[in-house]
A and B are shown apart, each in its own frame.
Chain A
Amino acid sequence: MLLNPAGERVPNPEYEPFVADVTGDQLASLYEDLVVVRRLDIEATALQRQGELALWPPLLGQEAAQVGSARTLRPDDFVFSSYRENAVAYCRGVELPDLLRVWRGTAQSGWNPYEVGMATPSIVIGAQTLHAMGYAVGCLRDGVDSVAVAYFGDGATSEGDVNEAMIFAASFRAPVIFFCQNNQWAISEPVGLQAQRPIAERAPGFGIPSIRVDGNDVLAVMAATRQALERARAGEGPTFIEAVTYRMGPHTTSDDPSRYIDPLQREEWAAKDPLARVEAHLRDTGVLTDELAEAIAGRADEIAARFRKGCVDLADPRPLDVFDHVYAEPHRGIARQRSQYAAYLASIGEAQSEGEQR
């Protein structure tokens, strides 16, 4: 921990040097990110409640873990995530409406991975950790010092793929960071069902050094990620980071946490809110004035308004788009079905131009 829940800097000789260069203004800009991603998350939840999105997986409470790690990456690093890393995607530069395509159902992915250095998220739990490891091995082969980062949850650590990814990464000294957000829950299952010991203790058994970090402390997350990045770029292989945090909201907007969450536990974590402590610290150090706080809140509102507009403006795909991109090269089976369906649509007077368009 570098910043305690009261907003006080705590001495930590090991990790202090990794963030010694972070100025008050830079911390304020991280704070702005935290405020914005929380605002976007709340807006998306509202959009779901209003029927504009089919589903949304809130990240409330996990802002520091995501912003702190994502903001330390270089553009040429590459992220492989699951569905909850919307703040990571925001930090990677994903366009606002692109964050919503999947949840609105207009597409199965929101962005071109190569434009933002972030793969399309994996909903299959843990599958992406192998992709990150493979990408990292590719970086080694290419002789570049880019790093791949795999984000996943505490529940994912039970999946075979995550364990296989750690074995392979250690064997190949792959420049990959395993970034586990331990938000204490896998839908309704507490972390205790997945792990009898702190999750970070597992990695050393695979030959991978690990760090257990306060995931609600943006500076500590940044420091841990920088250490792991440094190690990876220096050819020292993978690092496992367990960011200990808490999912303050439901698993998704379809979930009912009142069935399994003890309100006392939630309150305990509410006192460790990742935004409040940065805010307190910035107030104490005089960086955050009322005017600045207001300006940040105003910017967040403005971004949220654009987010909402981008959502409702998303165009529905056209009927024949269903056949696009199944294969990279022509495929006679798909070609046949596409032309048959185009003829069928034309026969019922629908999407006539659609059928002729290609």
Chain B
Amino acid sequence: MTELTLSKAIGSGLRRALSDDDRVVILGEDIGALGGVFRITDGLQRDFGADRVMDMPLAESGIIGMAVGLAYRGFRPVCEIQFDGFIYPAFDQIVSQVAKLHYRTRGAVRMPLTIRVPYGGGIGAVEHHSESPEAYFTHTSGLRVVTCSTPQDAHTMIRQAIACDDPVLFFEPKRRYWTKGEVDEDADFPMDAARVVVTGTDVTIVTYGPLVATAIDAAAAAADDGVSIEVIDLRSLSPLDLETVEASVRTTGRLVIAHEAQEFGGLGAEIATAITDRCFYHLEAAPARVAGFDVPYPASRLEEHFLPDLDRMLDAVDRVMGRENALTGWSAS
């Protein structure tokens, strides 16, 4: 066991993947000498060479399209998209090519790509550097979408993503890059299994990535108030481990879903529907969502208002508990 930051844990996972399998190649902007703008690939080009850790021209569609060709030839490319807001030029290659080639060729062609995306806000960045575009990709069949919230998960899951024969979008919560934790290099668990982070009996909070830490804080704060919260870290956003959520909601009877991404059409809607479908007679209240507002990610001096925080999470807890809350007495008219 070693103590690592989440960013270093991803770096060590990449290093392991490169040394374990010589078909693994890393592609991205500034990932060589600089080690990436977040230094995740620090030292990898020096140690594995410019043929395996390749600095790319500035063209996101080009990076993903090139990875498709490499995958056709049996490589396992790991692409780094520099920031969430710059994945859109590559959208067509990801959703029309990467996601569909296995299906279109009836299994003849494998696309074992990993696409790493630093995502989410909270670091005071300028526009296009704080977005949460995961729902675009969870909506696309053929892609797996995962995210991590601890150094351990970051290390294990990046290796699992690279080893997976399907394309994986690997979303890295950039404001948690500096979170420290113990990492066991030999740890293993199914990549699509959610994790119960805190156990509780009154309310289930389902979240992922950057908000897992916030939910843990919410559980601690609610405990002071006599409310017992169970926190679930989804890890995998596609597929969803609905069984773990269902089991929790069957005992708590109350569900809060939290994510940074805009609320409308987001994962919260998907989870609320699926769980209502499965647990209708176990629910004591309608599921509540805490999410980013349906506005573009705002200027950084406003992001604290956009991002779901501890208080907004606790307010949603009050809502499902039937307690006085911000929306008490509120009506849509």
Contact = CB atoms under 8 A, between A and B. Distances in A.
Chain A complexes with chain B = yes
Interface of A: 78, 80, 107-109, 112-114, 119-120, 122, 124, 127, 129-139, 141-142, 148, 160-161, 164-165, 167-168, 171, 324-329, 331-334
B70 A127 contact: no
A349 to B, nearest CB: 26
Interface string B89-106: 100110011001111111
Given A108-B104, A134-B69, A134-B72, A124 B96 contact: yes
Closest 8 CB pairs of A and B: A134-B69, A130-B65, A138-B73, A164-B62, A134-B66, A328-B165, A135-B69, A333-B239
Interface string B49-76: 0010000110101101111111111110
A133 B69 contact: yes
A130 B62 contact: yes
A167 B72 contact: no
A107 B72 contact: no
Nearest to A141: B51
Contact of B142 (A161, A167, A326): A326
B185 interface: no
B273 interface: no
B59 A167 contact: yes
A270 B272 CA distance: 63
Contacts, number: 144
A326 B72 contact: no
B141 to A, nearest CB: 5
A78 to B, nearest CB: 7
Interface residues of B, number: 47
A112 B164 contact: no
A138 B110 CA distance: 15
B240 interface: yes
Contacts of A134: 65-73
B102 A168 contact: no
Given A112-B105, A138-B73, A167-B59, A326 B141 contact: yes
A113 B142 CA distance: 19
27 contacts: A78-B73, A108-B100, A112-B105, A112-B108, A120-B105, A131-B65, A131-B69, A133-B66, A134-B65, A135-B72, A138-B74, A139-B73, A148-B69, A161-B65, A167-B57, A167-B59, A168-B62, A168-B66, A325-B106, A328-B107, A329-B164, A329-B165, A331-B144, A331-B192, A332-B192, A333-B239, A333-B240
Given A131-B97, A164-B62, A324 B108 contact: no
Given A130-B93, A134-B69, A135-B69, A326 B103 contact: yes
B72 to A, nearest CB: 5
B69 A324 contact: no
A325 B65 contact: no
Contact of B102 (A132, A133, A164, A325): A325
Nearest to A160: B61
A165 B57 CA distance: 10
A146 to B, nearest CB: 9
A325 B66 CA distance: 23
A132 B241 CA distance: 37
A232 B74 CA distance: 21
Nearest to B111: A328
